Amino acid sequence: MQGQEKFDYIVVGAGPAGSAFALQAGDKLRILLLDGSFRGQKPCGGLLAPQAARALAEMGLTLPREVLADPQIFAVRTMDLQTGAERSYPRNYVNMDRAAFDGWLRRLAGAKATVLQARATAVRPLEQGGWAVDYVTAAGERETAQGAAVVGADGAGGIVRRSCFAERRILHYTAIQQWFTLRDAPLYACVFHRPTSESCSWLFCKDRKLAFGGAFAPSGARAGFEEQKRILQEQYGFSMAQPLRTEACVVYRPRSKRDLCLGAGGVYLLGEAAGLISPSSFEGISYALRSGCRLAEAALAGGEVGRNYRRAAGALCREVLSRRWKRPFMYWPKLRGLVLKSGVQALKGSK
């Protein structure tokens, strides 16, 4: 059925980026949104940063109560497992249920676009111009949709970037996250342990559950995760004996301009698929929302969409790359040690 219809845009992925694009452009353009989320929810901290809240405000949206998680936490505890150093810093994140957030945005997008529960399996140029996307529906049927353009909003490791921009490889980690029944005081913490990860890990609470997750080099990721968990249990007393569930996914870490790929020639990338994620904190929802909005503006403006989009998203790219300056202070053990010791910007009384 979808195969006979020709869309202006076929969007692969109905996370925040794909839904934001459909929501902003769906009134004027014929959009097919392929939603592969029936295959499982991606692991995420579900913390909405102030830039993401601002993006929602710019989209004219207010966050419904069913999207919120309990409790709201206004401090991040920074823990260096190697040295035992700790500090707490103020943070203004909204604690959300990520699956509920994505579902809410997707429902809004569904009022303006055709949303199909399906997983894209191939993206191909058509001889007569335009693009074909092969997909498998949630019911297992194989179909093809045709569109004038394709949008890769399919996150890290997505099929659109891999198929159309294979040469734009980007450093990635394996993120592993486990959930437990919360038996300790609620907290949000950023965890460092150089022997097992050059990146960071995190602890957060949602609705009487504790999640522990981290980003690790793909080889030895599970061993690194288990070692950090052991330290948190044995040295810090966290209760993590029986995981309720374990999740894993790929997460990108952009290091240079080359890692950011907005697309060209009728195939455009949004959000994490484009490499738009903070290389220091892995905050990515705000970039996903804003890139979706920028592409919608570019598509509606007339003229060359690719050029419009690159121009409109230039500030986002610069913002991502500017986050690199924070990395040494977070990830170089000596510098981090000095920052923690200094107490600069720390909450009063935290140590």
Q: Decide if 31 contacts 11 (C-beta within 8 A).
A: yes
Give whole-number Cα distances, 294 to 29, 59, 81, 323, in Å. Answer: 15, 11, 40, 20
Q: Decide if 12 contacts 34 (C-beta within 8 A).
A: yes
Q: Indicate the residue among 37 and 83 with the shorter CB distance to ligand FAD.
A: 37
Q: Which of 240, 283, 308, 339 binds ligand FAD (CB under 6 A)?
A: 283
Q: Taking CB under 6 A as the rule, which mask of x and - marks residues 162-191 in contact with ligand FAD?
A: -------------x-x--------------
**In the block, which residue shows the tokens 């890139």?**
291
Per CB under 6 A, 46 contacts ligand FAD? yes
Q: Decide if 343 contacts 90 (C-beta within 8 A).
A: no
Per CB under 6 A, 16 contacts ligand FAD? yes
Q: Nearest distance from residue 190's CB to ligand FAD, in Å?
A: 11
Q: Which of 25, 29, 44, 267 binds ligand FAD (CB under 6 A)?
A: 44
Per CB under 6 A, 36 contacts ligand FAD? yes
HSE toward the beta carbon, residue 200, CA cutoff 13 A: 25
Q: What is the 3-state secondary structure (H, E, C) of 6-47?
A: EEEEEEECCCHHHHHHHHHHCCCCCEEEEECHHHCCCCCCCE
102 vs 95: CA distance, rounded Å: 14
Residue type, 211: A
Per CB under 6 A, 152 contacts ligand FAD? no
Per CB under 6 A, 205 contacts ligand FAD? no
Per CB under 6 A, 271 contacts ligand FAD? yes
Per CB under 6 A, 17 contacts ligand FAD? yes
Considering only the stretches 66-74, 122-130, 192-200, 278-286, report the one whose residues sit in contact with ligand FAD under the rule CB under 6 A: 278-286
Residues that bind ligand FAD (CB under 6 A): 12-18, 34, 36-37, 42-47, 49, 52, 119-120, 153-155, 158-159, 175, 177, 213, 249, 251, 270-273, 277, 282-285, 288
